[in-house]
Amino acid sequence: MEKVLVANRGEIAVRIMKTCREMGLSTVAVYSDADRAALHVSYADEAYRLGPGPATESYLRTDLILEVARRAGADAIHPGYGFLSENATFADACVSAGITFIGPPASAMRTLGSKTKARQAADLSGMPRVPGSVTGLSSVQEAIATASQIGYPVMLKAAAGGGGKGMRAVWSQAELPSAYVGASSEAERSFGSGEVYLEKLIQCPRHIEIQVIADMHGNCLYLGERECSVQRRHQKVIEEAPSAVVGEDLRRRMGEAAVRLALSAGYVNAGTVEFLLDAEQKFYFLEMNTRLQVEHPVTELITGLDLVEMQLHVAMGQKLRLRQDEVQLRGHAIECRIYAEDPGNNFLPSPGKITRLLQPSGPGVREDCGVYEGWNVPLEYDPMLSKLITYGATREAAISRMLRALDDYVIGGIRTNLGLFRRILSDSDFRSANIDTGYLDRLLSQVASDKDGSVPEQIISLAAVILSERREKVKASSAVALASRWKSAGRSEGLRA
């Protein structure tokens, strides 16, 4: 392998290319018309235009991407996350064209891509899963019969789904017929398949996932867990590793179950096994993501490993270079997903020109960024700007560093969710790791009710949000404030000299 085409954009494209460079591999970027001036384009050794802005005419055009690979002489393609990363047909097409797909075999992607087939694979490997059906339901009658067996509340889910689409919680038999029709038609619209199945509803679960990586020689490792319970509308907002509630024994049991599933599904390369963890610390298999995930850096920081490097080694046919007993978790890492969006206006995307960008750095701070000062954030794609990741010896240290790094971060010209992170990281429930998948919704409705409420404590928390937003604006718009901030830093340097 000598030349890698990265079939993606933004921070993940840049992050993948950084490792390629370190390994002496040359890099090929692809871009749409909306991304001509994007960071990943200038970072790559070569860059090729795909087509117009919409992803369906550019980043999702498998034919154009394979044509670029041929023209550029790339011998491997890294799909990143999203776009074509979980498309088994694309993985097959790469192999047919003689190009290495840096990801799992298409067959494993197909098995695990179907949620019902994945549940069957879980059973085969002895993995604990949520009670319920392992095949699609064929009628409302069958749904009623199955739900009676499981016991209410239950959850309807799309077999082809993921990400919460085509999902309905059902609390009683009376609600089931309309929920069945609703979930099935939403699944049909979203995924082209109306197949749905039933699961027992797990209430107030935590979302914990295990990173695995397997080579082509039958070796597979688990690299600890990530806690991803801070979510909004099935979009993760903050992730951390390790989870504050996962001890050594639970970690080993979840990790070994994840490895068994990966091996039994013929999995190769990096993947993530998602679990729900209930209040009694029982874990249930949810699904397996067959890609490198957005939140992989927190695992990298606590393991000291480079997951992209491992992906490339594995894709080259090499053996994993360490054994399970050599995987050591150290310290704590937290990631905040920085978005161009307006938390004060229903999280509406806020594309536009970045007029000012001061990026945090320093001890224990990593920023995986896809933008630069002066660039126009396009409206065509997911508006994630960067990921801010901090590391510390303890969870408290990582949080303190994150608060410092957020204060050091200046993004001018567009609205961002920086202020929201300050709010979450100073919240007492978050600080005591008292979080579940409903945590952020509860916090946000509290902030919203503060706006018309009269409870002094809530007024104080609202004031904190407003003040941090004002501070944001002052930092971003006032050149004088910025100059004096840096000048005073310079002056104290001078005094010391």
Would you tell me which residues interact with ligand MV4 (CB under 6 A)? 130, 155, 162, 164, 199-202, 205, 207, 231, 234, 276, 286-287, 437
Which pairs count as long-range contacts for 149-152, CB under 8 Å and 24+ apart, including other chains? 150/198, 150/199, 150/200, 151/200, 152/201
Give per-residue burial for 228-264: e unless 16+ CB within 10 Å, then b.
Answer: bbbbbeeebbbbbbbbebbeeebbeebbebbbbbbbe
As measured in angstroms, the least distance from the Cβ of 128 to ligand MV4 is 13
462 close to 253: Cβ distance less than 8 angstroms: no
Q: Hey, how many other C-beta atoms are within 10 angstroms of the C-beta on 106?
A: 20
In Å, what is the CA distance from 135 to each residue of 157, 160, 197, 431, 442? 11, 12, 7, 41, 34
Instruction: Give the residue with the Cβ less far from ligand MV4, 231 or 350.
Output: 231
Token duo for residue 420: 């929201």
Residue appearing with tokens 């399970």: 324
* The pair of three-digit structure tokens given for residue 18, joined into one six-digit string: 């950084």
Shortest gap between Cβ of 245 and ligand MV4 (angstroms)?
15
Q: Which is nearer to ligand MV4, 291 or 313 (CB)?
A: 291
Query: Which C-beta is closer to ligand MV4: that of 91 or that of 154?
Result: 154
Beta-bridge partner residues of 276:
207, 284
Check 206, 226, 291, 395 and give the catalytic one: 291
d(C-alpha 318, C-alpha 309), whole Å: 11
Minimal distance in Å, beta carbon 360 to ligand MV4? 28
Question: With contact defined as beta carbons under 8 Å apart, do 160 and 188 qualify?
Answer: no
CB closer to ligand MV4, 87 vs 289: 289
Quote the least distance from Cβ 489 to ligand MV4, whole Å. 41
Distance between CA atoms of residues 259 and 221, nearest Å? 7
When the beta carbons of 190 and 458 are compared against ligand MV4, the nearer one is 190
Shortest Å distance, C-beta 441 to ligand MV4: 9
Task: Give dist(CA 104, CA 290) in Å, integer.
Answer: 7
The reply to whether 291 belongs to the active site is yes
Q: With beta carbons less than 8 A apart as the criterion, state whether 348 and 365 touch.
A: no
199 or 469: CB nearest ligand MV4: 199
The distance of closest approach from Cβ of residue 274 to ligand MV4 in the complex, given in angstroms and rounded to an integer, is 7
Catalytic annotation, residues? 291
